[in-house]
Amino acid sequence: MGMQQEEWMWVLADYVVIRALENGVTIMGLTRGRDTKFHHTEKLDKGEVMIAQFTEHTSAIKVRGKAEILTKHGRVRTDE
């Protein structure tokens, strides 16, 4: 049983790379839809990296703490 076209759309969705520049960086995924809510939280320590993807459930990603975020649009540091 293969994936339907709608499912492939999310597999190919944009990724972001988040690298913690200090201990305790928090990454929060926010839901898509009428009411935006937090649906997932991760903690990273200095040097740890998380690769996240926007999906049918995730419309935004919030980063709290010093981190470097890499996207297809460029690089952002939260402390700049």
* pLDDT tens string 19-77: 999 999 999 988 777 777 777 889 999 999 999 887 777 778 889 999 999 988 899 99
CATH number at residue 26: 2.60.40.50
| CA pair distance 12, 6, nearest whole angstrom | 10
pLDDT at 5: 63
Sign of the dihedral through C-alpha 70, 71, 72, 75: negative
Global pTM reads 0.76
Q: How confident is the model at residue 11 (pLDDT cuts 50, 70, 90)?
A: low
Q: Is a pLDDT exceeding 70 seen at residue 80?
A: no
Q: Is a pLDDT exceeding 70 seen at residue 3?
A: no
Q: In three state form, how does the secondary structure of 37-53 look? A: CEEEEEEECCCCEEEEE
23 is in which domain, residue-wise? Answer: 5-77
Q: How confident is the model at residue 1 (pLDDT cuts 50, 70, 90)?
A: low
Counted domains in the chain: 1
